[in-house]
Amino acid sequence: MKIKMFSLVLLAFVIGCSSPQKLMEQQRYDEAILKSSEKISAGSENKKNLLIFQEAYHTANQKDHDRIIQLKASGEPDIWPAVYWHYAAIQKRIVTAQKLPEAQRKKLDLPGMTVEDELNAAKNKATHFLFASATLLLEKGGKAAALEAFNELSELQRIHKNYPGLDAAMRKALLQSADNILIGFRNNTSHNLPAGFADKVLDFKFEALKEAYPTIDLQPQAGKRYDYQLVIQLDEITISPEKREEVRFVEKNNQTEARITDFSLEKSATLIGQLRFIYKAEDRLVYSAPFNVSSVFKYNFARAAGDEKAFSATTAELVKKPALPFPADGSLVNDAAKNLQQTVAQMLGL
């Protein structure tokens, strides 16, 4: 009974600490907005929840607005990421308010406001600043500068994940920030891979690496500390159906004629997965990039009946070609492994 009573008291304490009122008292305004909005949306007519939402909404927005004014007044070029995040916080609160039931919104009597234009302008300036700053750090050289560049690029990724050139710059920063990297392959699919598949994927030419690159190993070396483990992770293999098409036509030349059947064969294997940089000291994923690589078999030949003098030059060549069977699935997958190796090498600049 004592244990049960203690549990109830503890539960009441936890609920009380996370109530809208308690959150306001602790100046955790955004949490108070979220918690009170949940209660309001659930149909609570408690006037206290409306007042808490209103007060937290105004207070938090005013704090962000004042900080934006302060940052802009400094005239410093590095203010824009912080300005963006302040505008983003305001925009998030506006969206939260807009999702409340209409009747409750009217009771709150919130001022109509929009920061979309300011948010987009800050986003543009923040992303340009972060990319330019990271580029200069990478040009500066050195492990510390590269790590700082990666941190700036990581913030850029949170603001604009599709920023042009971002992925390549992040990979470059990771490579330049490391002394030693261990590269490996992981089959995350349910398929049994052809013999030698992993060897083909990992067939890199490390002897041609530039001086700025870290030491790269395919097998862990005793006593060696690795900054990152780069995992080429295969998540999915798809084999297309065998596609066979026949086209019949007639060719004529003067008084000669031939009936042609043109055969087209097509089949493909696609490898889908991701390139994963793991920070070894913490076994933590710090960067990943998807890959989608295919090996395509396409073959065209022809058969004819009639006078070969009627053939066009193209048809004559097609008729000479032998009929071939579709390749086995394993053969296509092995060919795709070569393409994957080239894709990864290009991504890493190897």
pLDDT tens digits, one per residue of 254-292: 889 999 999 999 999 999 999 999 999 899 999 999 999
Angle, CA of 336, 206 and 280, to the nearest 5°: 85
Task: Using pLDDT thresholds of 50, 70 and 90, give the confidence band for residue 17.
Answer: low
For the record, the structure tokens of 117 come out as 């234009």
The per-residue pLDDT for range 35-63, each reduced to its tens digit, is: 988 888 887 667 888 888 889 999 999 99
Contact 130, 153 (CB under 8 A): yes
In angstroms, how far is CA 131 from the centroid of its own chain? 18
Q: Do the beta carbons of residue 251 and residue 257 sit within 8 Å?
A: yes
- Please determine, for residue 1, whether its predicted confidence score (pLDDT) is greater than 60: no
Q: Mention every residue, 6+ apart, whose C-beta is less than 8 A from residue 74.
A: none
b/e sequence 36-61, b meaning 16+ C-beta within 10 Å: bbebbeeeeeeeebbebbbbbbeebb
Residue 155's pLDDT is what? 96
Indicate if the pLDDT at residue 194 is higher than 80.
Answer: yes
For residue 94, CA distances in Å to 32, 54, 78, 131, 246 come to 14, 12, 26, 29, 61
104: nearest Cα among 21, 36, 58: 36
Please give the CATH architecture assigned to the domain spanning 184-348.
2-Layer Sandwich (3.30)
pLDDT digits (tens, 9 = 90+) for 59-74: 999 999 999 999 999 9
| Predicted pLDDT at 210 | 60
Cα separation, 272 vs 233, in Å, equals 9
Question: What are the residues whose beta carbons fall under 8 Å from the beta carbon of 146, sequence distance 6 or more?
Answer: 137, 138, 172, 173, 174, 175, 176, 177
Max CA distance (Å), the chain: 108
Q: What is the mean pLDDT of the chain?
A: 89
In this predicted structure, what is the pLDDT of residue 6? Answer: 43
Cβ–Cβ < 8 Å for 52, 32:
yes
Q: What is the CA radius of gyration of the chain?
A: 31
Percent of the chain with pLDDT over 70: 93
Average pLDDT over residues 79-90: 96
Instruction: Give the whole-angstrom CA distance, residue 293 versus residue 234.
Output: 11
- Averaged over 225-252, what is the pLDDT? 95
Please state, in angstroms and rounded to a whole number, the distance separating the CA atoms of residues 177 and 254: 72
- Position 84 scores a pLDDT of 97
Q: What is the pLDDT of residue 2?
A: 44
pLDDT above 70: residue 209: no
Give one DSSP letter per residue of 6-68, joined into a string: HHHHHHHHHHHHTSHHHHHHTT-HHHHHHHHHHHHHTT---HHHHHHHHHHHHHHHHHHHHHH
In this predicted structure, the answer to whether residue 18 has a pLDDT above a threshold of 90 is no
- How far is the C-alpha of 173 from the C-alpha of 15, rounded, in Å? 45
- State the average pLDDT over residues 215-230: 90
- State in Å, rounded, how far the first CA of the chain is from the last one: 67
Residue type, 149: A
Name the phi and psi angles at 328, rounded to 5.
-70, 155
pLDDT band at 250 (very low <50, low <70, confident <90, very high): very high
Predicted TM-score (pTM) of this structure: 0.76
Domain boundaries, the chain: 2-176, 184-348
Whether residue 302 is predicted with pLDDT greater than 90 in this model: the reply is yes
pLDDT at 150 over 50: yes
- Distance, in Å, from the CA atom of 298 to the CA atom of 230, rounded to the nearest integer, reads 33
Report the pLDDT averaged over residues 165-183.
91
Write the DSSP assignment of 137-148 as a string of letters.
Answer: HHHH-SHHHHHH
For 323-342, the pLDDT digits (tens) are 999 999 999 999 999 999 99
- Whether residue 91 contacts residue 119, with contact meaning beta carbons closer than 8 Å, is answered with yes
> Among 38-47, 145-154, 179-188, 294-303, whose mean pLDDT is lowest?
38-47
